[in-house]
Every structure is written in structure tokens, then in C-alpha cells.
Amino acid sequence: MEYTEYWGLRGKPFEEFCDTRFFFESDDHREALDRMLYVVNDKNMNIGLLTGEIGSGKTITKQVFCSSLSRQSFEVVAFENSQLPFTDILYDIVERITFRDSRIALLNDQALPSRADKYQLTVLLKKKLETLAYEEKRHLVLIFDEAQQIEDGVLDEIKNLTNITAATESFMTIFLVGQPELRDKIYKLKQIDQRIFLRFHLNNLDFPGTDKYIRHRLRVAGLDKGSIFTPQSGELIFRSTGGVPREINRLCKLALNYSFSQNQTEIDRQDIQIILDDIQRHR
């Protein structure tokens, strides 16, 4: 028997996989998503900025955002690793833009310029953007994750992509997603800072939010009612994790496994403390 069956669950509630079914709409996460949708639906706001501490839920928020965008209206190109030379980024954007209309899909099949040929890549990108906007009536959305790792010069060239516009509309919206240091980095780059129309910082969960987060993930995983965790265990989970979703996931997963091995009917404060002590011993 696995711990999921023991606890009456249909799935594993605290995995690190970015499963959007488990997205928890805290006030911060809902506002972040709403702001991103506002920026992209306006289509003339250039750049949006989303920051948060490690493990705060930026990636799953980004995934929910992407899944919310209609394929009829948007073309999304996301970079999980943004630490690349600009010509590689440019090449990947051009290569990954696709078209729904079979009449113009041939644009995807034409030979691409060399990765080093910045001029020809830019020319082809502009051609694809015009086709995307005028013939398919779709807007390009570029998302750069871990954007704090992008070199200043590359960030400036990414910003310059927003200069490719028609007379009355922008062809693309760019989102920079990263850790808190990204805010300081952008602030020092005034030419980029001025292009950012909307920004948001994801905070960690508070104690009530942590309790709701745990209950939410258990419910999505199939728990019919209540919670496996006692209020006292929830308080210790919050204090020891600081309300960081990734840390909550790790601790709760260990707790489910441990208490299953002990044939317990619930997880209390003492169980959480045993796990925390074990983690500390092996650091």
C-alpha cells in the first residue's frame, strides 16, 4: 500500500511537478495572475515584471497564465532558461513561432539564418510578427523565467524587441519572471525600467494562507473532507517554512510518508517536529 491509498487520496498532493490543478489562489497569486492577464490583453504595455522568492510559486503562476491564453488570440514562447546569448534567443523565437493557418504555415518551413546572423534573424522575426498580427490576428507573448540571470546587454536587446511595432499596435508583450534581485537589476537599467508598465512581487503565504494551501492541495488530490494535519501541526509547518509553498510541499510530503509508516490517523505537531529534527541532523 502506498501512502496515498492509506490517506484516502487519489493522487500525490505535494509533488514538485508544476501541475496547474494544484494552483492555489492566495490573494497574491490571484492578483499576480490578474495583472499578467491585464497586461497581455491590453497588447500595448510592452513589458511586465513578476518577482518572488525562491519557491514562492512563480512558475506555477506562469503556467496557469499560459494555459489561460487562447491559442486563437496569442502565440506564447517561453524560456525556462534565459541565460543565453541574444542571438540564440532571437533564433529560438523565430523558430518557435507557429501558425494555425495552413496557407501561411510555410513560413515555419523556410530555412532559418545562422544563429549568429542577427540582422537576418531580425528581418525574419519582423516578417513573422506581421503575418501573426495581420493575417492570424494573434499577439506574441514572450516569457523569460529566471530573468535575473540575463546579462544587462541581453536584457537591453530583449527590450529593443518591443520597438518592432506597427503604427497603432504592438506585436508582442514580454514578461520577465525572476527572483527579488531582478527588481534591483531592472531599477539600475533605466532604459528597461521605463518600458515596464506593470510589476508585481509574490509574497510568501501567511498562517491562514498556509492552512488553506495545505487543505487545497489535499482536496485536489482526493481528500473528501477535513484535513490530515491538526491545527497544531499546521502552525509548526508555517513557522518552520516561512510560508514558502515549495518548503511546505517538501515538509508535508515527508509528514504523509512518516505518519503512514507509523500507522497514524492524523499528523500532529510532534510528527512535524520529528521530521524537522531529522532534516536538521542531516544538514
3-state secondary structure of 196: strand
Q: So what's the pLDDT on residue 230?
A: 95
- Mean per-residue pLDDT over the chain, rounded: 92
Boundaries of CATH 3.40.50.300 in the chain? 27-202
Q: Are 232 and 266 in contact (CB under 8 A)?
A: no
- As assigned by CATH, the class of the 205-281 domain is mainly alpha
CATH match of 27-202 with 3.40.50.970: no
Q: So what's the pLDDT on residue 107?
A: 65
pLDDT in tens, 93-118: 999 998 877 666 666 666 788 889 99
Spell out the SS3 assignment of 226-275. CCCECHHHHHHHHHHHCCCHHHHHHHHHHHHHHHHHCCCCCECHHHHHHH
**61-70, 79-88, 103-112 — most confident range:** 61-70
What pLDDT band is residue 262 in, cutting at 50, 70 and 90?
very high
**Is residue 70 scored above 90 in pLDDT?**
yes
pLDDT in tens, 177-228: 999 999 999 999 999 999 999 999 999 999 999 999 999 999 999 998 878 9
Q: So what's the pLDDT on residue 62?
A: 95
Question: In what side-by-side order are the strands of the sheet with 172-178?
Answer: 74-79, 139-144, 172-178, 47-52, 196-202
pLDDT in tens, 33-46: 999 999 999 999 99
Boundaries of CATH 1.10.8 in the chain? 205-281
pTM, whole model, 2 decimals? 0.91
Number of continuous H segments (helices) and E segments (strands) in the chain: 13, 5
Q: What is the DSSP letter of 111?
A: P
Share of the chain above pLDDT 90, in %: 83
* C-alpha distances in Å from residue 138, one per residue of 43, 143, 152, 171: 10, 16, 30, 9
